[in-house]
């Protein structure tokens, strides 16, 4: 995991970031964009996610993914309260939805499962009795430590999802699950190709994604939504999966979570690798 460089002027960075946030919240987007540019100049690795916030305001290029330093920092900070906040306050139940769909489609049990973005182990817990062996991967070291304490996984790695898929030399998996990973990724080609390289023929890829109305996308394949998370058009998901060698088993409409009490619309996708 990338550590903060000691060369960062933490005081100046905090001042610029807080100023940017304040300007953004008061609707002064041009001034906020200038302040976020200062933030990026002070912290090029972008631990605070300035690039994502700029895109969310429509003031910057949409990045191909959220910066690794930002995702790691975000989840390291929230690891201790993660389960409580996500499940109890935000109504997050995607891991249980994954389990329900697998059972309804009569898929499984599985020999080898890969849980990308495993977090504290919510998906691992939901699938534990359906799998012989589960490997968990997450960018946040603090999350992985909590998952390790739950004793749900045979193997755990601290790594970025696509990097892990690129570097992994172990036996292929017959199920790869990625719940709440796509909201931190824009372009999905590398993820899907990486999944293909790590699946047995006929293996399954299951993932959740967030989406927005067609008029909001305005022809775009993906964009950063109002809550600084990536949303993907269903047509883009279908197109990229087909181009990578997957056949769609099903695409279901789901509520991914609540945000300020409002349901966030998304998809739960089950796809099969057909070489």
- pLDDT tens for 1-23 read 444 445 778 888 889 888 988 99
Q: Is residue 256 over pLDDT 80? A: yes
Residues linked to residue 265 through DSSP beta bridges, in sequence order: 255
- Give the mean pLDDT of 46-63: 89
CB contact set of 18 (below 8 Å; sequence gap of 6+): none
Residues linked to residue 222 through DSSP beta bridges, in sequence order: 232
| Neighbour count for residue 172 (Cβ, 10 Å) | 16
pLDDT higher at 90 or 2: 90
pLDDT at 3: 46
* 116-129 residue pLDDT tens: 999 999 999 999 99
* 204-241 residue pLDDT tens: 999 999 999 999 999 999 999 989 999 999 999 999 99
- DSSP, res 242: H
Domain spans, the chain: 1-61, 81-273
Instruction: Specify the CATH number of the domain 81-273.
Output: 3.40.50.150
pLDDT at 16: 87
pLDDT higher at 125 or 88: 125
Contact at 8 Å (CB) between 138 and 117? Answer: yes
Question: What is d(CA 235, CA 269) in angstroms, rounded to the nearest whole number?
Answer: 12
pLDDT at 1: 44
């Amino acid at each position: 995991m990338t550590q903060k460089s000691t060369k960062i002027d933490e005081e100046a960075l905090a001042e610029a970031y807080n100023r940017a946030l304040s300007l953004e919240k008061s609707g002064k987007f041009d001034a906020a964009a200038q302040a976020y540019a200062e933030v990026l100049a002070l912290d090029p690795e972008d631990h605070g996610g300035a690039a994502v916030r700029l895109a969310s305001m429509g003031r910057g290029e949409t990045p191909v993914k959220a910066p690794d330093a930002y995702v790691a920092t975000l989840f390291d900070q929230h690891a201790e309260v993660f389960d409580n906040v996500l499940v109890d306050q935000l109504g997050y139940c995607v891991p249980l939805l994954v389990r329900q769909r697998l059972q309804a489609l009569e898929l499984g049990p599985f020999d080898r499962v890969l849980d990308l973005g495993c977090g504290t182990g919510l998906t691992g817990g939901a699938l534990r009795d359906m799998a012989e062996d589960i490997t968990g991967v997450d960018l946040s070291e603090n999350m992985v430590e909590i998952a390790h304490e739950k004793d749900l996984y045979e193997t755990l790695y601290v790594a970025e999802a696509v990097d892990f898929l690129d570097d992994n030399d172990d036996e292929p998996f017959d199920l790869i699950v990625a719940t709440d990973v796509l909201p931190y990724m824009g372009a999905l080609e590398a993820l899907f190709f990486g999944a293909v390289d790590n699946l047995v023929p006929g293996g399954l890829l299951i993932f959740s994604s967030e989406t927005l109305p067609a008029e909001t996308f305005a022809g775009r394949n993906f964009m950063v939504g109002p809550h600084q998370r990536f949303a993907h058009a269903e047509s883009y998901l279908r197109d990229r999966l087909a181009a990578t060698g997957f056949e769609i088993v099903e695409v279901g409409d789901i509520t991914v979570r609540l945000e300020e009490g409002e349901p966030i619309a998304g998809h739960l996708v089950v796809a099969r690798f057909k070489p």
